[in-house]
Amino acid sequence: MNTAQPAPGLRAVPVVTPTSLPGSIVRVPNTSAPAVLPVGHEVIAELRFQASGKIGEAAGADASMTEQDRRQRGQSIIMQVVSEWATKYAASGAELTPDQERAVREAVFDELFRAGRLQPLLDDPHVENILIYGDKVRVDYADRPTRSWGSIAKTDRDLINLINHLARMQGQGERALTPATPNLNLRLADGSRLAASAYVTPRPSIVIRRHRTRDQGLDDLVRWGTIDSSLAQFLRAAVKGRKNIIVVGSQGVGKTSLLRAMAREIPSNERVGTLESEYELHLHEDPEGPEVIAYEGRESNGERGPDGRLQGELTLSDLFPQLLRMSLRRVIVGEVRSREVVPMLHAMNEGEGGSMATLHARSPQLSIERLATLCLEAGIGMTEALAYRLIAQAVNFVVYVRLVDESELVGPNGEPGRKHRFVSHVMEITGIGEGGRPSYQMVFAPREQNGRREPRAVPHGNISQTCVEDLTRAGLDRSVLRRPWGTWGEPLQTVMPL
């Protein structure tokens, strides 16, 4: 155990009895249940103050100390500080259990080196989204209704300081919430995506979108009920058959998860480029996957150059030209939002095929209009007719993902509702149709027949001959397209009819 002496001038931590401050819940790693902190966060903040001073002294005495060394030394110092405090605490007549003392150590460590009071939520595998507005915190779960959570910071200023602390910890110190840069977007260490605003909103507003699953494949999606084995075989063949695919849906439905699962079907001998605002696909971290050249956008430092552009900013459309010089066989765009739509469609149209992207749209049909709108907004003088032609030539399939949230409902027998995420449509774009717009047909879609209704995607048998021949060569068994209910054993069970 580290035996460093307390730094001079540090305040004594008050000894607090269990009844003098409200208890808090903190997740204790490697245990099956959370432990109750016997003190409030005022005491945790004081312990952090003492430990921080000692860690600073240790770092000042050893200029060669790396960040990893600092964390390891910090753990020893925190153990010493908490142990000394726990002895005084026990003298007050309330001895800590081992789990409680470990919880205090973890809380202090989280304050210094991790995400503070956010860390229990980031450690919870069931949390999907964390929504913060000042002292109001709501948590979306994968398997239960949304719930309120205790405040993350004592004041709005403390909350902004916490977010800027997270940015520094991720090695993105040039990004910060300031009056000059009131919006901040960054990727956390666990792959979560954080979006924050302050100074332009009444109170700081933060949304953290967590990626609970990063290693899933199509078979995992079959097991979770997102797709059935018929659609899994079709999508696998579409990827291997080098079809250009757009994954579409509203926010939070699982577009990125589906895109990631399909991308894992790309042969390992291929060279792929990914383009994202913040890394969410993490394909470049898969040792068994293809060779991936991963590009990530960059926010500005808030200053503008003589040309009026934000200094240091790199948008996806800025990065696209360089990406296309990397001798790639496919391009994957994490999310198409702006001007990058035009080079993406050109890459799909001019390359070997097999590129993919996600897009926000409220239906598979509206994805065509959304792509056309983005083309017109790109500011390059593209006409509507040219936008439609480019889309028709570039995109082979649109895969639509739907979310039905029944987590707040209760079934007729008292059973709790749940969230249903599933693919509902696979639409083939077949060329230019009436009015110069892309024509399309549904390969997979919901079905209602003989009193049975299935809202999930099942085969409809509509597919162009050339395309089905390509997919057959890529491993598709054509018989899966003749199964009217796919391989769903029974209709989707929902509380309310869909």
CATH number where 193 lies = 3.30.450.90
Whether 172 and 277 map to the same domain: the answer is: no
Structure tokens at 99: 């789990």
Residue 488 is assigned to a structural domain of this protein: no
Residue 27 confidence (pLDDT) above 80 = no
Least confident span in 52-61, 227-236, 448-457: 52-61
Banded model confidence at residue 282, pLDDT cuts 50, 70, 90: confident
Range of the domain at 204: 115-212
Whether 289 and 400 map to the same domain: the answer is: yes
> Of 97, 113, 129, which closes a domain?
113
Whether 321 and 363 map to the same domain: the answer is: yes
- ∠ CA(488), CA(248), CA(353), 5° rounding? 95
Banded model confidence at residue 172, pLDDT cuts 50, 70, 90: low
Report CA torsion sign: 213, 218, 224, 225: positive
Residue 386 is assigned to a structural domain of this protein: yes
Whether 454 and 311 map to the same domain: the answer is: yes
Structure tokens at 29: 């790693």
Residues 103, 37 contacting (CB under 8 angstroms): yes
Residue 24 confidence (pLDDT) above 80 = no
Banded model confidence at residue 301, pLDDT cuts 50, 70, 90: low
Whether 357 and 437 map to the same domain: the answer is: yes
For all residues of the chain together, what is the average pLDDT? 86
Q: Which amino acid is at 144?
A: R
Residue pLDDT, tens place only, 112-146? 888 888 888 988 988 989 999 999 999 998 878 88
> Of 178, 212, 246, which closes a domain?
212
Residue 95 is assigned to a structural domain of this protein: yes
Whether 273 and 189 map to the same domain: the answer is: no
Q: For residues 221, 227, 233 and 234, what is the CA-based torsion angle, rounded to 10 degrees? A: -130
What's the number of domains the chain is made of? 3
Residue 457 is assigned to a structural domain of this protein: yes
pTM, entire model: 0.79
Residue pLDDT, tens place only, 461-474? 899 999 999 999 99
Main-chain phi, psi angles of 455, to 5 degrees:
-75, -15
Whether 228 and 102 map to the same domain: the answer is: no
Residue 33 confidence (pLDDT) above 50 = no
Instruction: For residues 411 and 415, give the distance between their C-alpha atoms in angstroms, rounded to a whole number.
Output: 5
Residue 493 is assigned to a structural domain of this protein: no
The domain that holds 436 is classified in CATH as: 3.40.50.300
Instruction: For residues 60 and 65, give the distance between their C-alpha atoms in angstroms, rounded to a whole number.
Output: 9
